[in-house]
Structure 1
């Protein structure tokens, strides 16, 4: 099923309505969808590199709006809607474990900006729903989402414009690992700062 979903999403890049589909996929990825918007964004930006920043802007705006929808699911409808979505994707136990370990806005910001926003670990929908479920301030959340998602899509747009097709394989296989290492370093620095501050 996942492979068919992936292939269907890839097929959207060739359509005249690709920009609309990019917005739709970016929106639902941030709240309920399994396939990341990158699957559509990458072939679109490679096919028309001169429009890659436009695509990045579309994906960012739609992703932030989708994030707000995810936040609302967590805040207003956790038991009735958000929990079944998480259970459907097999993410509920991971979600609960993560939710119990998050105690404030700065931790969710770090999670959002570094790990989920840039590397999809955990998936963005998990973080947006969690932010609502634990009552993160909506304005703080929106600013975090703009920075996290904007940084991701603009970085991808810049890489694709600068390096073209050869960078695609690298992005698909290695970008998550590199960002993961960077995230680990930032998390360790954050922990060290907290320890030294107290």
Structure 2
């Protein structure tokens, strides 16, 4: 099923309505969808490199708006809607443990790392942020920085290196973003220990 979903998402890049689909997928990825917007963003930006910045903007704005929807889902509809969604993905138990064990600063850090590297998945963190009452303004600023950094970095790489960088992005961008996320976590832990 996941492979069919991936293939369907990839097929959207060739359509005239690709920008609309990019916005829709970036939006729903941030709250409920399984496939990341990168799957559509990459082929679109490779097919039309002159529009890579535009696609990054569309993906960032839609992703942040989807994150806000996830925040509202967690804040106002956790019991009725968020719990069943998390249960569907098999993430409810992990979510409950995370919700009970993280503080405000840790949630902001998770928001940044999930926006950059999908660690943990962005949909989990957006719902968690709402359920844990993270300030919506802080949430939005963090989401803009993290998601914008991810999409604009990919756009820059694709414009600079073209098709040659695609394999690297598809195979190693997650690892690279994970390393950046790990560095942020180490800085955060060091800050908490020494300040």
- Normalised to the residue count of structure 1, the TM-score between the two structures is 0.96
Q: Which moved more, 1:93-102 or 1:125-134?
A: 93-102
The answer for the alignment partner of 1:162 in structure 2 is 160
The answer for the alignment partner of 1:20 in structure 2 is 20
Return 5+ residue gaps in structure 1 as ranges: none
The answer for the alignment partner of 2:66 in structure 1 is 66
- Normalised to the residue count of structure 2, the TM-score between the two structures is 0.97
The answer for the alignment partner of 1:94 in structure 2 is 94
Task: State the Cα distance separating 1:192 from its structure 2 match.
Answer: 1.6
Aligned residues: 195
Return 5+ residue gaps in structure 2 as ranges: none
Task: State the Cα distance separating 1:13 from its structure 2 match.
Answer: 0.3
The answer for the alignment partner of 2:121 in structure 1 is 123
Residue 112 (str. 1) matches residue 82 (str. 2): no
CA distance in structure 2 between the partners assigned to 1:51 and 1:143 by the alignment: 25
CA distance in structure 1 between the partners assigned to 2:119 and 2:194 by the alignment: 27
Please show how residues 3-18 of structure 1 align to structure 2 within 5 Å.
3-18=3-18
The answer for the alignment partner of 2:47 in structure 1 is 47
Q: Secondary structure of 2:133's partner?
A: coil
The answer for the alignment partner of 1:187 in structure 2 is 185
Task: Determine if contact 2:60/2:148 at 8 Å carries over to the other structure.
Answer: yes
The answer for the alignment partner of 1:139 in structure 2 is 137
The answer for the alignment partner of 2:31 in structure 1 is 31
Q: Secondary structure of 1:46's partner?
A: helix
Task: State the Cα distance separating 1:108 from its structure 2 match.
Answer: 1.6
Runs of 4+ in 1 over 3 A off after TM superposition: none
CA distance in structure 2 between the partners assigned to 1:153 and 1:121 by the alignment: 16
CA distance in structure 2 between the partners assigned to 1:89 and 1:55 by the alignment: 28
Task: State the Cα distance separating 1:97 from its structure 2 match.
Answer: 2.2
Q: CA RMSD in A?
A: 0.9
CA distance in structure 2 between the partners assigned to 1:189 and 1:147 by the alignment: 17
Task: State the Cα distance separating 1:25 from its structure 2 match.
Answer: 0.3
